[in-house]
Amino acid sequence: MIKHLMVRLLNMVVFTLLLFCCNVSVSAAAPTSGVENEIPEPEQKVTEFEVPLSANINKLLGEKFNKIGYMKFDKVKVRQEPKKKSKILTIFKINKKIKYHSYNKKWIKIKYKKGFAYIYKKDISKKKIKIKIYSVPKYSGYKSWMPYTAITSPSSPQYRLQHQYAYTGKYGIRMVNDRYCVAIGSYFKASIGQYFDLILANGTIIKCIKSDEKANRDTDSANIFSTNGCCSEFLIDRDSLAHSIRLSGDASSACKAWKSRVIKVRVYKKNILK
């Protein structure tokens, strides 16, 4: 019996030793931090986001280029950014039709080539500007002048224009707003106070307002040119007249850009007196 008890005791000791050795082995194999021993989470699939094309961006941002506009002026600057000093990409002529999107209170946004461009809102009209263009036969390019004080009848629209609206501006020439006071013949079918442009052969555009009319008896059979070969006569202030104009008798002497003949006269429907 004693022998049987000793065998059982020996078995218990062996079992205990085996159990101790197994625990030591497992502990030795475990990492110190325990992080790497965690069960790895299944790999998450990353969804690729494709940058949409400009057309889709417009849709996302609500930019619909569906407003129709026309250029108010002859040389509207199209800029790279909605900033006054931004790079000028191109120039649009009067009445050019565009589709645009309102960018903010000052600018509108248009599609330009593969990107976008910006134009001042004040340069856009909802309707075409009503104009009529007259061609001028070839001539020397001479532009005469007359003193505005030669207009003496208080009841005339010429007098009213000079004394209620006009002022002495650049080169001593009378002006209304940003337009030069000029007399032209009846051929151009404009009334006193009506806006018009002198378009020169070199591309210069002189913004004018009809301030007097050349008498038919003093012009050619077509009522375009005076006897001195002039189709435009500038109203001036003698006291402030530029020396170059006074010396030459030609308003073209005012600046280099004006030394070119008039090839077209563009008359607007707008009249400051009406």
Whether the per-residue pLDDT at 8 is higher than 90: the answer is: no
For residue range 156-199, list pLDDT tens digits in order. 999 999 999 999 999 999 999 999 999 999 999 999 999 999 99
Mean pLDDT of 46-53: 45
Question: Bridge partners of 198?
Answer: 206, 265
Whether the per-residue pLDDT at 53 is higher than 90: the answer is: no
pLDDT of residue 42: 53
Express as a percent the part of the chain with pLDDT over 70: 77
Q: Is the pTM of this model over 0.85?
A: no
What confidence category does residue 73 fall into, taking pLDDT thresholds of 50, 70 and 90?
confident
pLDDT of residue 140: 85
For residue range 101-160, list pLDDT tens digits in order. 888 999 999 999 988 999 999 999 999 999 999 999 988 899 999 999 999 999 999 999
User: What would the two tokens of residue 63 be?
Assistant: 């930019």
* Percent of residues in the chain assigned helix, strand, coil, to nearest 5: 25, 30, 40
The set of residues, in sequence order, having a beta carbon less than 8 Å from that of 138 and lying 6+ positions away, is 261
Question: Bridge partners of 144?
Answer: 233
Minimal CA–CA distance to 135: which of 272, 270, 267, 1?
267
* Largest CA-CA distance found in the chain, in angstroms, rounded: 160
Torsion (CA) 124, 76, 185, 156 in degrees, nearest 10 = 50
Whether the per-residue pLDDT at 35 is higher than 60: the answer is: no
pLDDT of residue 261: 95
